[in-house]
Amino acid sequence: MQTIFHLDLDAFFVSVERVLDPTLEGKPVIVGGDPSGRGVVAACSYEARKFGLHSAMPIKQAFSLCPHGIYLHGNFKEYTRYSRLVKNLLEQYAPLLQQASIDEFYIDFSGCQKIYGSFIQLAEKIQNEIWTRLKLPASIGIAGNKTVAKIASDFNKPRGITFVCNGMEKDFLAHLPVETIPGVGKVTLRELNSRGIYKVDDIAKLPIDYFSSALGKFGIDLWEKANGLGSSFIVLDREQKSISKENTFDKDVTDYNILYETLFYSIGKVCQNLRDDEMQASTINIKLRYSDFQTLTRSKTIPHTDDDKIIFEVAWNLLSKANTRRVGIRLIGVGVSNFRKYSEQELLFEDLEARRKKMLRAVNIIRSKYGFNKIFIGLEKNK
């Protein structure tokens, strides 16, 4: 029988900040930058969530709900360091480990019951060791596949353990709200609610063809998840193949200025990651999803670069040519791939390109210290 653990570090950024500064314990802490700026909440403590705050909320809105909160820019180098420490600890237990994000891990313990005995006791042991050694709280979901395990890890936070027995997946999910299913965002939630679908069981009771015709491949995936189905395949660590950023709009967009600004911001994030990893990319990909869920992708290969301006110009040209439909856009995405390691050559005479490369790396240093939204790279406004 397949047995998958999903370990989720609770309010991870805030938890790391509390390790670094124990006086933050028990206080409403918000990581995301200056509350007078234009950023969003990256993470918030459970004390702050009592005031209605949540991740991705505009920082100004968060401040209006919780003006007495402690607002921090964040220390992403420390978050990465603690994430690696957790991974190193888990590797001592796990035959197969997949890091899904900076604060999420899938572990395959299939066939290990004779070694470890009770899986609940094993989860408690792992949970306690992470707390004792690193002072980081974690929640664990246990199930026969990754989707249900992920949902289970969020079921009893913080520091919870939820075990979904084999064959009980559908019953466990039945009465949960549909937004519990990974991949169901605000736009999809409104679409489902408009069809009278509010609970996971409302999806499971309908035929798969209903969702296939209404939502395409996404609808099939949604129906399978609602019925407790999911992959148990663990993706082992390997060289990163791409870096991407997607944005799903609250309302379908037709305004090119909004698309322009959103793409510009997303590419800034992508290029920031490129430079942090000391990499350059040569293939640029864009993705558009329309209000009727039709999705198109385009790509172009250019000489290797990590420059926001160059990548933006290519991506915007791809998007402008591809977007020929008079239909609202619900999602826009950009990605880069085909990497090579960045190497800075010593130049006898510093030209404009060399100076720009130094400027881009200075931008990364400022963002790492003070937050992404503290500085933006100028670009000619769309006309």
For residue 206, count CB atoms less than 10 angstroms from its CB and return exposed for 0-12, middle for 13-18, buried for 19 or more: middle
Mean pLDDT by 10 residues, the chain (383 residues): 95 97 97 80 95 91 96 89 94 88 93 89 97 98 97 96 96 97 89 96 96 89 95 73 84 90 89 82 92 89 89 94 90 90 51 63 61 57 47
In-domain check, residue 208 = yes
**Domain count of the chain?**
3
Please say whether the beta carbons of 340 and 280 come within 8 A. Answer: yes
Phi/psi of residue 80, nearest 5 degrees: -65, -40
66 and 23, same domain (yes or no): yes
Q: Which of 169, 185, 177 has its CA nearest to residue 225? A: 169
Within a domain: residue 7? yes
pLDDT at 350: 44
Q: Tell me, yes or no, whether 144 and 200 share the same domain.
A: no
Q: How is residue 104 written in tokens?
A: 């999420």
How many CB atoms lie under 10 A from the CB of residue 51? 16
Gap between the Cα atoms of 302 and 240, Å rounded: 19
Residue 232 lies in a domain: no
Do residues 81 and 195 both lie within one domain? no
**CATH code (residue 197):** 1.10.150.20
Q: Are residue 75 and residue 215 in the same domain, yes or no?
A: no
pLDDT of residue 346: 39
Instruction: State residue 347's pLDDT score.
Output: 39
Q: Which residues, in sequence order, are bridge partners of residue 279?
A: 341
DSSP characters over 90-143? HTTT-SEEEEEETTEEEEE-TT-HHHH--HHHHHHHHHHHHHHHH---EEEEEE
Whether the Cβ atoms of residue 277 and residue 369 lie closer than 8 Å to each other: no
Residues 199 and 327 grouped into a single domain = no
Check whether residue 263 and residue 175 sit in a common domain: no
- Same-domain pairing of 152 and 179: no
Do 8 and 124 fall within a single domain? yes
Residues whose CB is less than 8 angstroms from the CB of residue 23 and which lie 6 or more positions away in sequence, other chains included: none
104 has catalytic annotation: yes
Is 234 inside any structural domain? no
Q: How far apart are CA 14 and CA 72, in angstroms?
A: 9
Residues 211 and 262 in one domain: no
Assess if residue 382 is contained within a domain.
no
Unique residue bearing structure tokens 């900076």: 102
Q: Give residue 35's pLDDT.
A: 86
Q: Which residue among the candidates 17, 25, 78, 104 is catalytic per the annotation? A: 104
Note whether 58 and 155 are same-domain residues. Answer: yes
Residue 252 included in any domain: yes
CB 270 within 8 A of CB 311: yes
Residue 235: inside a domain: no
Q: Within 10 Å of residue 351's Cβ, how many Cβ atoms?
A: 8
Distance between CA 35 and CA 60 in Å, rounded? Answer: 5
- 307 and 196 in a single domain? The answer is no
User: What's the CA gap between 184 and 218, in Å, rounded?
Assistant: 10
Task: Write out the residue range of the structural domain in which residue 219 sits.
Answer: 171-226
Torsion of CA 192, 195, 198, 199, to 10 degrees: -90
Q: Which residues of 220-241 are buried (b: 16+ CB within 10 A; e: fewer)?
A: ebbbbbbbbebebebeeeeeee
- The reported pTM is 0.67
* Residue of 226, 237, 55 lying closest to 147 (CA atoms): 226
How many other CB atoms sit within 10 Å of the CB of residue 91? 13
Q: Are residues 288 and 340 in the same domain?
A: yes
Query: In terms of Cα–Cα distance, which of 86, 68, 77, 78 is closest to 30?
Result: 68
If you write DSSP's letter for every residue of 203-270 in order, what string do you get?
Answer: HHTS-HHHHHHHHTHHHHHHHHHHTT-------------EEEEEEEEEEEE--HHHHHHHHHHHHHHH
Q: How far apart are CA 192 and CA 177, in angstroms?
A: 11
